[in-house]
């Protein structure tokens, strides 16, 4: 499967073309829009989220509510475009448009401007903006819907913002095996989507909101950490044969590709590096004639292949680069020291980042799932899947 996105943050809108999914599974604009709305949530977002109500229009690939197997194209209009018709005009215009020459440290402003030989940082800002992730969520919602046919579910929650962690680390339960493959990852979303910052612990929520208020008051921003959990994944997705077939490498790549993500872990990740092997590896036992694990510290992946236990991915997002009390930069027009430019932005976007990470993870799981089971129609994919799970997987 593949997808491409196109569009600038303040252009007419975002387009995505999604290809490679089988025919005959249900898909609606409402389903896509449900996930687009989840991406817009979270205390600490900027004014832009008040302007936009992201809605995807499906332009092709679906008839009578079911996929055709042909490319699915989607368009998300930028409502804000109406306020940017001069500044983002396709044609050269007479009117003088202010050129941006002061880069924000931490954003793609400087590197993008040097790389593409621009004389106006706006050219770099608009495509490097995380607004692009709206198109990714739309594309990946097709992957999610496809996976739901096999009861594969994806959920996420924010673990910390600004260094404020939950009282009791919920994720320990998952590693200790309490949350088994029978758990439904969507249950996590039923809790986290209700929280203003997508945390599971209500007491932590108030502390985080106070910290965000402090950041806003100081003209500063915050980052944080989040978890994505996938349940219902069969054993056997991915391979140890080649580097690009290892599913944890593909998952890490996908999450790391999200704007401002600077770290990814699978399972207990970095913590495992400090422990004895006997404290890390998940013992194998036989229960009801089937393989079973007491723990899931591996995060559902061994040897680049899914184990059949929940997949657990943790990501770290750095603080948003646009500061209302800016730090030092250089004016490219004068080459003199200045303070960085302010630009309308978010203060915190970790809750949205977790939803985007869910989407990227869903995409990779669907890709590896279809590599293993194939099928031009959903019926054929289901047959292949049932054949494997009944004939080979169940013992
Ligand atoms: C947006 C993400 C952020 C927002 C943007 C909308 O993008 P960036 O990476 O550019 O900071 O700041 O909003 C604006 C660009 C704006 O004009 O306010 C998103 O996820 O939709």
Vertex 200: Cα angle to 197 and 210 (nearest 5): 40
Instruction: Specify the ligand 1 atom closest to the Cα of 80.
Output: 17
Q: DSSP for 218-242, please give it.
A: TT----EEEEEEEESPPTT-S-SSS
Distance 130 CA to ligand 1 centre (A): 6
Distance 46 CA to ligand 1 centre (A): 8
Distance 274 CA to ligand 1 centre (A): 38
Confidence class for position 124, pLDDT limits 50, 70, 90: very high
Instruction: Specify the ligand 1 atom closest to the Cα of 47.
Output: 18
Q: Which tens digit of pLDDT belongs to each residue from 145-169?
A: 999 999 999 999 999 999 999 987 6
Residue nearest to atom 20 of ligand 1 (CA): 131
Q: Give the mean model confidence (pLDDT) for residues 81-107.
A: 96
φ, ψ of residue 137 in degrees (nearest 5): -65, -40
* Residue list, ligand 1 pocket, CB within 6 Å: 9, 46, 48, 129-131, 133-134, 259, 322, 344-346
Would you say the C-alpha torsion 233, 234, 239, 245 has a positive or negative sign? negative
Q: What is the pLDDT of residue 395?
A: 46
Cα–Cα distance for residue pair 33/310, rounded to 1 Å: 26
Most informative mutation of 79, 109, 121, 345 for ligand 1 (most atoms within 8 A of CB): 345
ipTM: 0.94
Instruction: Specify the ligand 1 atom closest to the Cα of 54.
Output: 21
Question: CA distances (Å), 100 to each of 41, 97, 257, 302, 326, in order?
Answer: 29, 9, 26, 48, 15
pLDDT of 179 > 80? The answer is no
Cα–Cα distance for residue pair 61/54, rounded to 1 Å: 20
Q: Which tens digit of pLDDT belongs to each residue from 259-301?
A: 999 999 999 999 999 999 999 999 999 988 888 898 999 999 9
| Pick among 3.90.79.10, 3.60.150.10, 3.10.20.30, 3.30.450.40: CATH of 2-393 | 3.60.150.10
Q: Which tens digit of pLDDT belongs to each residue from 360-395?
A: 999 999 999 999 999 999 999 999 999 999 887 654
Q: Which tens digit of pLDDT belongs to each residue from 315-356?
A: 999 999 999 999 999 999 999 999 999 999 999 999 999 999
Crossing angle of helices 350-373/378-387, nearest 10°? 80
């Amino acid at each position: 499967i593949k997808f491409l996105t196109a569009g600038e943050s303040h252009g007419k809108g975002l387009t995505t073309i999604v290809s490679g999914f089988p025919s005959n599974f249900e898909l609606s604009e409402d389903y896509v829009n449900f996930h687009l709305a989840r991406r817009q949530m979270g205390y600490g977002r900027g004014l832009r989220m008040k302007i936009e109500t992201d809605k995807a229009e499906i332009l092709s690939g679906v008839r009578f509510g079911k996929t055709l197997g042909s490319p699915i194209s989607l368009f998300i209009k930028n409502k804000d475009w109406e306020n940017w018709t001069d500044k983002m005009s396709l044609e050269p215009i007479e009117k003088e448009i202010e050129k941006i020459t002061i880069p924000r440290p931490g954003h793609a402003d400087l590197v993008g401007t040097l790389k593409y030989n621009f004389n106006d940082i706006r050219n770099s800002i608009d495509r490097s903006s995380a607004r692009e992730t709206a198109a990714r969520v739309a594309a990946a919602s097709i992957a999610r819907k496809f996976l739901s046919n096999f009861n594969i579910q994806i959920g996420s929650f924010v673990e910390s913002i600004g260094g404020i962690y939950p009282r009791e680390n919920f994720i320990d339960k998952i590693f200790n095996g309490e949350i088994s493959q029978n758990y439904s990852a969507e249950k996590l979303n039923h809790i986290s989507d209700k929280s203003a910052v997508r945390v599971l612990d209500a007491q932590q929520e108030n502390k985080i909101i106070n910290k965000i208020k402090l950041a806003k008051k100081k003209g500063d921003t915050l980052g944080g950490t989040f978890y994505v959990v996938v349940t219902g994944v069969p054993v056997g997705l991915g391979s140890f044969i080649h580097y690009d077939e290892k599913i944890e490498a593909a998952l890490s790549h996908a999450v790391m590709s999200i704007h401002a993500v600077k770290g990814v872990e699978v399972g207990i990740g970095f913590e495992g590096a400090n422990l004895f092997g006997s404290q890390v590896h998940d013992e194998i036992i036989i229960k009801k004639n089937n393989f079973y694990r007491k723990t899931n510290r591996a995060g559902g992946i061994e040897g680049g292949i899914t184990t059949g236990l929940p997949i657990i991915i943790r990501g770290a997002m750095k603080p948003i680069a646009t500061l209302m009390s800016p730090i030092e930069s250089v004016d490219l027009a004068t080459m003199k020291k200045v303070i960085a430019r302010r630009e309308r932005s978010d203060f915190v976007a970790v809750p949205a980042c977790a939803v985007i990470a869910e989407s990227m993870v869903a995409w990779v799981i669907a890709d590896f799932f279809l590599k293993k089971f194939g099928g031009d129609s959903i019926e054929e994919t289901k047959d292949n899947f049932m054949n494997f799970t009944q004939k080979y997987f169940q013992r």
